[in-house]
Chain A
């Protein structure tokens, strides 16, 4: 590496944009070339001058802008809403009760005996629906698995697997604590286009098989337009619920089941 190369790479170097190998080569040259070393130092000092003033130079949005943008968005949202959309806010509780009843009623067999699987299926569907109705989809909103996963620390007695699949069209949008089958569970919320997916996870407990799912075979069922998949893997129970069509949701399930990460 010669001085001409260095001059070409000054800014990339001081901005830490170069790979390790190139940086090492540059540093080797700088140790032997005081002219280039001086150059780099000068440019770095100028960079630091701006950086040290960055806080004062940064222009934050005025308070009223936030308010105006929010109401403009709400207006746009209202204008874009489909004519037959039910307004969940007004009368939301009443509708929630009715819908829960329908969901539970349909999944349970006619003669009233509910298997464990059916019971769990009812619960996760209710939980999914309730989270959307009560506007309580997530407690932590982030697409970054390194933000969502640690959020569960201290709130759960296990560490749920959290992965983002934006590249495959399933974006992690957040996480939430939920309560299913008499225990705290992790709910990871994903979005595919306009559909929400709730992924529930909790540890399998051989001591309490009533809480466990069917086993490593993926079971799937649908109820009231919701597709549900469940399985057990590596000591963890998984339930996936969404109004997304079953084939697409199955794609998502396959991603989750992939062992290699």
Chain B
């Protein structure tokens, strides 16, 4: 009898986070056609491991599983580039210090306030996956460093430095794009 209710409880506690799961997978996999399959696979794995779920936060628990499943897919499909393709040091407009902070101008002065979400989306897509995932989990899911650390399996300090570098790169990309628009 208890087995029958595992599904019911799972549906009540875990299914509400389907959007969060899809959002993370979509951003990690660049909206690859396999995205929905990967999400489905994540949910099946979550269901299999549900007996081991002891905590309060089903969203964090589920997203850790989704993240793992996505990274496995990326590795299997040769899409994982852990080296950043973006060379931060050759930028002449701003500089990045040892903490990964870049001193770009204020987005207001660059009239980026009206930057379309399409521009932002394109910029986010360019980030290396280990920076992108932290930015997405922080800015779109509103998760804390501790929660992001649990999901990514990295220490909170690493979360913070990847977030700093991810934000820095994002700013570089957006400033670049803005300048190109102004010139061209």
Interface residues of chain A, those whose CB is within 8 Å of chain B, are 7-8, 10-12, 15, 17, 39, 41-43, 45-47, 49-51, 53-54, 56-62, 65-66, 68-70, 72-74, 76-77, 80-82, 85-86, 88, 132, 135, 137-138, 141, 143-144, 164, 166, 169, 171, 173-174, 191, 193-196, 243
Q: How far is the CB of B184 from chain A (nearest CB, A)?
A: 22
The answer to whether A59 touches B26, judged by C-beta atoms less than 8 angstroms apart, is: yes
A42-B140 contact in complex given A11-B160, A69-B39, A191-B9, C-beta closer than 8 Å: no
Task: Name the A residues within 8 Å of B177 (CB-CB).
Answer: none
Task: Name the B residues within 8 Å of A8 (CB-CB).
Answer: 99
User: In whole angstroms, what is the CA distance A73 to B14 when docked?
Assistant: 12
User: In whole angstroms, what is the CA distance A164 to B56 when docked?
Assistant: 9
Q: How far is the CB of B44 from chain A (nearest CB, A)?
A: 6
8 closest A-B pairs by CB: A61-B22, A141-B12, A56-B117, A194-B2, A59-B26, A77-B7, A50-B139, A59-B23
User: In whole angstroms, what is the CA distance A69 to B41 when docked?
Assistant: 9
Q: How far is the CB of A66 from chain B (nearest CB, A)?
A: 6
Whether B67 sits at the interface, judged by CB under 8 Å, is: no
Cβ contacts A to B, 11 pairs, < 8 Å: A10-B99, A10-B101, A12-B145, A41-B106, A42-B104, A49-B120, A53-B115, A62-B22, A76-B47, A164-B56, A193-B51
Chain B, interface size: which category?
35 or more
Whether B164 sits at the interface, judged by CB under 8 Å, is: yes
Task: Name the B residues within 8 Å of A46 (CB-CB).
Answer: 104, 107, 167, 170-171
Task: Name the B residues within 8 Å of A62 (CB-CB).
Answer: 22, 36
User: In whole angstroms, what is the CA distance A163 to B43 when docked?
Assistant: 28
Task: Name the B residues within 8 Å of A57 (CB-CB).
Answer: 117, 120-121, 124, 139-140
Q: How far is the CB of B41 from chain A (nearest CB, A)?
A: 9
Task: Name the B residues within 8 Å of A42 (CB-CB).
Answer: 103-106
Interface residues of B in 111-135 (CB under 8 A from A): 112-113, 115, 117, 120-121, 124, 135
Interface residues of chain B, those whose CB is within 8 Å of chain A, are 1-13, 15, 18-19, 21-23, 26-27, 31, 36, 39-40, 43-44, 47-48, 51, 54-56, 58, 97, 99, 101, 103-108, 112-113, 115, 117, 120-121, 124, 135, 138-140, 144-145, 160, 163-164, 167, 170-171
The answer to whether B11 touches A70, judged by C-beta atoms less than 8 angstroms apart, is: yes
Q: How far is the CB of A258 from chain B (nearest CB, A)?
A: 19
Q: How far is the CB of B22 from chain A (nearest CB, A)?
A: 4
The answer to whether B2 touches A195, judged by C-beta atoms less than 8 angstroms apart, is: yes
The answer to whether B2 touches A138, judged by C-beta atoms less than 8 angstroms apart, is: no
Partner of B13, one of A15, A43, A59, A141: A141
